[in-house]
Amino acid sequence: MKAATINFWRSQIIGLDQLIPTVHGNRPYINFDNAATTPPLKAVSQAIEELLPWYSSIHRGFGFKSQFSTDLYRQIRNYVIRFLGGDTKEYTAFFVKNTTEALNKLSYRLPRKAGSIILSTKMEHHSNDLPWRVRHRTEFVRVTKDGILDLEDLENKLRRKQVALVTLCGASNVTGLINPIYTIAEMAHYYGAQIAVDAAQLLPHHRVFLEKSGTYLDFLVFSGHKIYAPYGSGVLIGRPSIFLKGCPESLGGGTVITVSEKNFTLAPLPDREEAGTPNLIGAFALAKALKWLEENDFPLLSAYEEELTAYAFQELQKIPGLILYGPSPGAHRRVGVITFNITGLPHGLTAAALAYEGGIAVRHGCFCARPYVHHLLGLREEEILYYEALAKKGQKKDLPGMVRVSLAFFNTRQEIDWLMKTLLYIAENKDKIRTDYQINEETGEYSPLSGGETFTRKLQTLLEEHFHIEWRNA
């Protein structure tokens, strides 16, 4: 990819030139934690600045700004459906807080049918596992030793059981593995089931369509804060039929058209599913981010990320004692999410050393996908129980996990080279790293024995500037 193109992309993101403290002095922040949350796009924050003077409440007032905001919100909803290739007559969309809220809503609103089950998978984020477990009879499709979804097991389960819904991630937040969602959609529909795709990790990297390859997705969910729009909005898009029956999980203002002492009448869709004042700013930001991706050649951004992922994977293999999880990007399609461990170092210590020595942001632990991480680590049942007992006692320091590097289109090969240099230093100086860092037994987090105090300075300034809170009183 041309340097000028990458530089242009980088210029579109807020905060990339922000220096942050490390034990070796200030350094540019390298954000390899994009799977958790991405930094904002300038275009998004600029569009919000433009909107704010016109912003007012939705569905509530008759003033010009209120009417303007209500209409804008409606248009944005339709734009999001259309961006995903959906027909606004066939799909409805609800703005929610995030993917988690979207999946909880879906699990609440999907009717429970006697004898039928929900099929989730063993590679899901807890948000696409727990809501189903607690409200429906749920079974989980197996994954291979390497973490790939076992399609044979999926089909067997579809054939033998009465499956109401298959719910799975478009891409894993642990291995980045991309699931063949359209093949699975076809399979699910063939056996009379619906399909829900958790696109929280897929949509930031690839254009997703509600209808493709002669098939369709029944439900799709994702979060704004993972697509450069951190303004508290996510989406649940779906076929409307299930939302026309029963009662939403959340009721109140906006969800009804009549209320008397004894009765109430639910509003038509989508209003009945969005209780309280909607988050226009969040919805607007999310839609603007999608628009930016579309206008900036989303397939090109995806191709660049794929190239970067292959490079990172290849380079990581050169670090002595580094264990990678999941198949290589050459062997299986994956988004830029790569997990590893350095033999002999706790994952938390590796992550801390990357942050404090190199200014590199990663995540470590189980990434809210414990069953999958335990499986990839090859933990036995008794080990899992042992670690669960430790966690329940609040002993976080020895818990199993991994380190995760997650990429976005604004990352560069140079940043990956810096990651490799820092990792090599860590891998070759394990004893020094172990003695230079201390663990907080309560939180399980590591910090350097000296130099760590500089990290609190920014927070101190912010608190004093905005809230007049003195650091010592905080």
Ligand X SMILES: Cc1ncc(COP(=O)(O)O)c(C=O)c1O
Contacts with ligand X by CB under 6 A lie at: 35, 98-100, 125, 127-128, 169, 173, 198, 200-201, 223, 234
Task: Could you list the beta-strand ranges (E) of 288-369.
Answer: 322-324, 337-342, 360-361, 363-365
| Residue carrying the six token digits 């937040």 | 173
How far from the centroid of its chain's Cα atoms is residue 357's Cα? 27
Contacts 24+ apart (CB under 8 A), 68-72: 69/280, 72/280, 72/284
| Residue carrying the six token digits 């029956």 | 245
Cβ contact 466:472 at 8 Å: no
Q: Which amino acid is at 30?
A: I
For ligand X, give the closer residue by CB, 35 or 407.
Answer: 35
- Nearest distance, CB of residue 368 and ligand X, angstroms: 6
- Nearest distance, CB of residue 98 and ligand X, angstroms: 3
Structure tokens at 316: 């990581």
| Residue carrying the six token digits 């794929």 | 306
- Nearest distance, CB of residue 420 and ligand X, angstroms: 25
Which 3 state secondary structure label does DSSP give 86?
coil
How far from the centroid of its chain's Cα atoms is residue 306's Cα? 18
- Nearest distance, CB of residue 183 and ligand X, angstroms: 19
Active-site residue flag, 366 = no
For ligand X, give the closer residue by CB, 59 or 135.
Answer: 135
d(CA 398, CA 391): 9
For ligand X, give the closer residue by CB, 98 or 138.
Answer: 98
The H or E element that residue 343 is part of is none
d(CA 215, CA 185): 7
Compute, in degrees rounded to 10, the torsion defined by CA atoms 210, 214, 218, 221. -30
- DSSP category for residue 94: E
For ligand X, give the closer residue by CB, 143 or 345.
Answer: 143
The residue from 169, 247, 366, 368 that is catalytic is 368
- Nearest distance, CB of residue 31 and ligand X, angstroms: 15
Task: Please tell me the number of Cα atoms within 13 Å of 377 on its side-chain side.
Answer: 25
- Nearest distance, CB of residue 225 and ligand X, angstroms: 6
d(CA 387, CA 383): 6
For ligand X, give the closer residue by CB, 354 or 368.
Answer: 368
Query: What's the sign of the alpha-carbon dihedral 133, 138, 139, 144?
Result: negative
Structure tokens at 232: 């508290």
For ligand X, give the closer residue by CB, 107 or 412.
Answer: 107
For ligand X, give the closer residue by CB, 125 or 347.
Answer: 125
- Nearest distance, CB of residue 107 and ligand X, angstroms: 13
Q: What is the DSSP string of 372-420?
A: HHHHHHT--HHHHHHHHHHHHTT--TT---EEEEE--TT--HHHHHHHH
Cβ contact 352:447 at 8 Å: yes
- Nearest distance, CB of residue 219 and ligand X, angstroms: 13
For ligand X, give the closer residue by CB, 101 or 357.
Answer: 101
- How many helices (H) and strands (E) are present in the chain, helices listed first? 16, 21
Active site residues: 368
